[in-house]
Amino acid sequence: MINRIRDIRRQQGLTLAEVAARCHPPTTAQTIGRLETGMRSLSLTWMNRIAEALEVDPQMLVKAEGGIAPMLIARLGINGAEAVARPVEAIFPIVPGGEATLVVVSVEASAGEYRTGDQIWLRQVEPEEFPRALNRDVLAPRPGGRFAFGRMIDRDGERIAILPPGIGQRQVVIDRPHWLGVAEMLVRRL
């Protein structure tokens, strides 16, 4: 089994010492280096500690041998596209809040800025985090197994108001939703 610790660490722009300091309890850069290179075996305990430090799911740290993975080969900056020093395996984008539950909305018909075929990845948040979702696109559960999606435009106590995407839509007011999915990433085929 091959691990991806080095690739993920480099994509996040972290040094061995920074990852070591983020571990609970902290460890040494030398230990992280040995785990990266396979000189020390990656136990389940170490995998969980390093995954938490890198804010990824533990399963992201390992890969099966022989699998063909997409490669990060260039970066696009203000001066255009530039080759990376060494191509590395592309790692699924990191969603802040490592332990967060992710949910996905599939766009079946274009609405507002969203096109048919898009996927909207959302991070589930609890009611105490609702104020930070103001003016963000959110998915909110409604009674009867239904949902409301759109821009959260208001919050009054335990009630929230959502404006669905598209022209001429009316706001939806939801009383005491148990959670919200806050849009974190848009996946769109070109």
Which tens digits make up the pLDDT trace of 33-47?
A: 999 988 888 888 898
Q: Are strands 119-125 and 137-142 parallel, antiparallel or unpaired?
A: unpaired
What are the structural domains of the chain?
Answer: 2-89 (1.10.260.40), 102-187 (2.10.109.10)
**Per-residue confidence at 154, pLDDT binned at 50, 70, 90?**
very high
Which tens digits make up the pLDDT trace of 93-147?
A: 555 555 567 788 888 888 889 988 888 888 889 999 999 999 999 999 988 888 9
122: which 2 tokens? 């959302």
Least confident window among 6-20, 69-83, 102-116, 143-157: 69-83
The pTM for the full model equals 0.59
- Provide the pLDDT for residue 67: 60
Would you say 101 and 43 are in contact if contact means Cβ atoms under 8 Å apart?
A: no
For the chain, the 3-state helix, strand and coil shares in percent, each to the nearest 5, are 25, 35, 40
Would you say 55 and 48 are in contact if contact means Cβ atoms under 8 Å apart?
A: no
